[in-house]
Structures are given as structure tokens and as C-alpha cells.
Amino acid sequence: MINKNNWSERINPVVRSIPPSGIRKFFDMATEMKGVISLGVGEPDFVTPWHIREGCIYSLEKGYTMYTSNQGLLELREEIARDLDITYGVTYDARRELLVTVGVSEGLDLSMRALICPGDEVLIPEPSYVSYAPATALAGGVPVTIATSVEEEFRLTADRVEKAITPRTKILLLCYPNNPTGAVLRRRDLLEIAEVVRDHDLIVISDEIYDKLTYIGSHTCFSSIPGMRDRTVLLNGFSKSYAMTGWRIGYAAGNSDFIGAMNKIHQYSILCAPITAQMAALEALKNGREGMRKMVQHYNRRRHLVMQAFKDMGIPCFEPGGAFYTFPDISSTGLTSEMFAEKLLMEEKVAVIPGNAFGPSGSGFVRCAYAASMEDLGEAFRRMSGFVKRNGVQSKIVVNL
Ligand code: PLP
């Protein structure tokens, strides 16, 4: 019997069962305090380059304020197809195989909703980006996590994928460079995973949002692996590589059946991505490569400094090959991830995210984003160094960024 005054009982039980994001909890705590340096949220500290903003302003002056086609401006889709062809040698038909979305977030939701039948299992390497499991559950699927470990540099192996497969497995989700660990996969890792995918007839959703932020070796796009293009939904966007988080623009590329199905949901729920953001994305693709490369160089410099800072503190940290995250092992402090993050915030006003917010295999770690200015990073690590010393780990040298 439903209690009429208990509104929460009327809410879909799947929605009720989803816990709030562990990232947001710390973000909200940090924003309510003064003087906090946040290494918490995964957002570029750069403002969108001026020529992209100007491109958008110019489009508004010219009166571009309408709906676009559901799939997005054809000119933008053609530019995306060109970019994927030049960068990875993988070709897509801009008219039938590309969909412009409201960020990768919408692409993720659409792909899950278009592909999952009730009870289908989705394999998710863990530690994992916080949206994957809820997006799976909301689409009626069952998230099945595959733990990765620091001993294996948080790389997903074909062997581990194989072991997690059951008769209900339908989708493998990939996210490399990875959030939260910064791990990257080598081409030969992907080739081995592709064999398992082929043998078990799986579909892959490949979230390539950090593809441009790769510092070790070159990134291989999963769709470019022989035989994988048609069984992969490639998701990407502009939030990270072009510092465009607030514009909410991304895209999905895949075979026309998948993209057509996703577009069906998109046309009834979203209609189309905002035209102003689409015009900005067009400018980013046409003229933004150089600016993007410069931002990547900055991230890489910060990555080296942050790695050195952890080394000096005596905190083991696996070297991330991509994205803008480090995932240090803080277990030597004797604190849990939650305690470390909470105490660091309260005592030193530095915000990091407890590793277990990304799944149980993140326990004993914290995620520190280095998408912050050198000054902020320097100050944050000076504070963290003092904190770590007080909590039992001896710094070898005074951190001097
Ligand atoms: N995928 C991953 C792995 C992310 O880290 C994020 C944001 O942090 C997103 C998707 C969301 O991207 P967008 O801003 O394009 O929706």
C-alpha cells in the first residue's frame, strides 16, 4: 500500500536506488567554504579560446537562433567526420552516421537507452566515471564492474573482460584515457580486447572524451581497430579538449542503425543541440587545433610537476598517460579515502575526490585533477605536503613547485 503523503514512494525505484554522486558531495562542501583550492572537479581552468567565443557571437549577430536538424548542423557533422578521418583514418557518413548531442553525457544516455533491453549486462572497467553505472541502470541494464588495479597501471586487459562475460553481457564500455585514473591503453591492449569483443559479439561504447589529452604515446581510437567500427558507438565532445564544458556539445558516431535509433530518442527528448554551441564547435574544429595543442602542453607540464610533488611527499602515484587526473595511493597515511579528502578539505582547504567515489577498487586512492593554474597547484601541494607530514608520511624534500 502506498502511503499517500510519502511522495518519495511514488518515485521510480530505480531512480530512488541511485546514490548521489560522490564528486558533487565534495564539490558542494568545497564551494561553501572560503579560500578552498579545488583539485576536485574535472573541468579545464582555461576559458574557451577567444576565436571560438567570437565565432559564436558572430553567428548570433547573423541571426542563428533557430532549431537545427535533429542530427545537428550538416556542416558541423561534415567537419566532425573530416576530423575523425584525418586523426584516426576512420570514416563516417555525416548524413547517416553522426549525431550532434548535448555533451558526451547525452550521447552516453542515448546509446544506453537505444541499445539496452531489460536485464542486459554492461561491462564497466572500474574505477569508473561516476555516470556509467547510473546511466546503465536508468536504461534498464545491469552494470557489471571489472576491477582494474594500480599494479597493472589501471589498464583493462582482454583476460579480465573475458572473465566478466556472461550470457547476458551486451555492451563493453571503454573510457581511455581514463577518468579517474588517467590510465591509457596501448594499441596492442585494444587489439586483444577487440578479439574478445568479436568472439562474444559485444557492442562497445567508447567514451573518447579525453582522446586529445594524451601524453604518453599516441591514442588509438577503438573504432579504428579493424572490424570494430560497426560494433562501436564512439562518443566524443568539446568539453575537455577545447575547454568548452559549459557549452554542452558533443557527438556520437557509429553505424547508421545505432545512430538512427539514438536519433529517435534524441528527437523526442532534446530535439537538437543548441545552435549557438554548434556554431562554436564548428569554429573549434576549423581553427582550434593550435590552441588545443597549447592547452595540452600546459596540462603536461602540470602533470610532471604534480608527479614530482607526490614523489617528494612519499605518496606513491602511478604515472597517468592521459586526461588531467592523478590517482595517488594515500593508504600509507592510515586514512581512508573519505577521511583523507574530508580532513584535507577541513584542515588545509584543498579539495580532492575520494577514490571510492569511482567504485570500491578506488579505495585507498584520491583523485586530484591538475586542471588548475600553476600558482594554485603550487599552493595546494604545499598545503598537502604539510598535511601528509602531520599524518605520518615523511616528505623527502620540501615541495617547491
Ligand atoms: N565522460 C567522461 C569520462 C567524463 O569525465 C565527463 C565529464 O567529466 C563526461 C563524459 C561528460 O562530458 P560532457 O561535458 O561532454 O557531457
Give 283-308 pLDDT, tens digit per residue.
999 999 999 999 999 999 999 999 99
C-alpha cell at 19: 546514490
Average pLDDT score, the chain? 94
Return the ligand 1 atom nearest residue 238 CA: 15
Nearest CA to ligand 1 atom 5: 179
- Counting residues of the chain whose pLDDT is more than 90, the rounded percentage is 89
* Average pLDDT estimate for 38-47: 91
DSSP secondary structure string for all residues of 330-359 = -GGGT--HHHHHHHHHHHH-EE-EEGGGG-
Domain with CATH 3.40.640.10 in the chain: 50-288
Mutate to test the pocket of ligand 1, among 209, 213, 236, 244 (most ligand atoms within 8 A of CB): 209
Mutate to test the pocket of ligand 1, among 21, 48, 99, 105 (most ligand atoms within 8 A of CB): 105
| Ligand 1 centroid from CA 105, angstroms | 6
Q: 119 C-alpha vs ligand 1 centroid, how far in Å?
A: 25
pTM, two decimal places: 0.94
Q: CA–CA separation, 154 vs 93, rounded Å?
A: 34
- Please state, in angstroms and as integers, the Cα–Cα distance from residue 206 to each residue in 125, 229, 251, 361, following that order: 12, 11, 12, 21
Matching residue, cell 555492451: 171
Amino acid 391: pLDDT? 81
Distance in Å, CA 267 to ligand 1 centroid = 21
Count of Cβ atoms closer than 10 Å to residue 330 Cβ: 30
pLDDT of residue 398: 44
Question: What does the pLDDT average to over 313-317?
Answer: 95
C-alpha dihedral (126, 129, 133, 134), degrees to nearest 10: 160
Predicted local distance difference test score (pLDDT) of residue 400: 44
The gap from C-alpha 332 to its chain's centroid, in whole angstroms, comes to 28
For residue 107, the CA-to-ligand 1 centroid distance in Å is 10
Q: Is the pLDDT of residue 229 over 90?
A: yes
How confident is the model over 233-250, as a mean pLDDT? Answer: 98
**pLDDT the model gives residue 256:** 98
pLDDT score, position 21: 79
pLDDT of amino acid 399: 45
Dist. CA 49 → ligand 1 center (Å): 19
| 240 CA from centroid of ligand 1 (Å) | 8
Phi, psi (degrees; rounded to nearest 5) at 395:
-65, 140
* Cβ-contact 224, 29 below 8 angstroms: no
**Cβ count within 10 A of residue 19:** 10
pLDDT tier, 208 (very low <50, low <70, confident <90, very high otherwise)? very high
Q: Where in the chain is the domain with CATH 3.90.1150.10?
A: 9-47+290-390
Whether the predicted pLDDT of 169 surpasses 90: yes
Neighbours of 87 (CB within 10 A): 14
- Which 3 state secondary structure label does DSSP give 292? helix
Burial grade of 35 (CB within 10 A; 0-12, 13-18, 19 or more): exposed
Helices (H), 100-186: 103-115, 132-138, 158-164
Own/partner pairs, 304-308, CB within 8 angstroms, 24+ separation = 305/370, 305/374, 305/377, 305/401, 306/368, 306/370, 306/377, 306/381, 308/401
**pLDDT tens digits for 141-162?**
999 999 999 999 999 999 999 9
Please tell me the number of Cα atoms within 13 Å of 378 on its side-chain side: 6
Sequence-ordered list of residues with C-beta below 8 angstroms from that of 180, at least 6 positions apart, any chain: 42, 127, 129, 325, 327, 353, 355, 358, 362, 367
Spatial separation of the C-alpha atoms in residues 72 and 26, rounded to whole Å: 35
What pLDDT is attached to residue 397?
44
Residues lining ligand 1, Cβ inside 6 A? 42, 103-105, 129, 175, 179, 207, 209, 237, 239, 245, 250
Paired with 206 in beta bridges are 174, 234
Residues 179 and 392: their CA atoms lie apart, in Å, by: 29
pLDDT of residue 374: 93
Please tell me the predicted confidence (pLDDT) of residue 213: 97
Residue owning grid cell 578521418 = 85
Distance 218 CA to ligand 1 centre (A): 21
pLDDT digits (tens, 9 = 90+) for 91-136: 999 999 999 999 999 999 999 999 999 999 999 999 999 999 999 9
Atom in ligand 1 nearest the alpha carbon of residue 104: 15
Fold annotation for 50-288: Aspartate Aminotransferase; domain 2 (3.40.640)
Residue 41 has pLDDT above 90, yes or no: no
Ligand 1, atom 12, residue with closest C-alpha: 104
Atom of ligand 1 nearest to the CA of 237: 15
**Alpha-carbon distances of 162 from 19, 137, 202, 207, rounded to whole Å:** 29, 22, 11, 20
Q: Under DSSP, is residue 242 helix (H, G, I), strand (E, B) or coil?
A: coil
Per-residue pLDDT, 401: 43
Q: Which three cell numbers stand for residue 1?
A: 500500500
pLDDT computed for residue 48 by the predictor: 98
Average pLDDT over residues 355-376: 96
Query: Rounded distance, CA 345 to CA 357, Å?
Result: 16
| Separation of CA 209 and ligand 1 centre (Å) | 7
CATH of the domain spanning 9-47+290-390: 3.90.1150.10
